[in-house]
Amino acid sequence: MTRLPRLSGREMVKFPKGCGFQLVRVRGSHFFLAHRDRRTTVPVHGNRDLKTGTLRSILRDIDLSPAAFTQQWAERRARPDAA
């Protein structure tokens, strides 16, 4: 089983945007993102890390396996221009 990185909701909102998702709306602390027929909601509660189950649910919504996410996340973090 792949060990998922710990990241905040704010960091997770940036990740799907890089995969073509767009911010549809924000209601309170929940960011709603969509891309074609896929949608997901990312809770952003300050700088608190997302719980593992919440992160897995977001990955299911965006059709990305935990292993693929971990690999793409590591590649983005290694780039010097990554935010």
**Claim: this prediction has a pTM higher than 0.85:** yes
CA distance 70 to 68: 5
The tokens describing 21, both together, are: 């998702």
Percentage above 70 pLDDT, the chain = 93
Long-range contacts of 31-35 (CB under 8 A, 24+ apart): 35/62
Convert the pLDDT of each residue in 32-54 to its tens digit: 999 999 999 999 999 999 999 99
CA distance 6 to 32: 20
The CATH T-level fold of domain 9-78 is Metal Transport, Frataxin; Chain A (3.30.920)
Domain ranges, ordered by start, for the chain: 9-78
Query: What backbone torsions phi and psi does residue 39 show, to the nearest 5 degrees?
Result: -140, 150
CA distance 34 to 60: 13
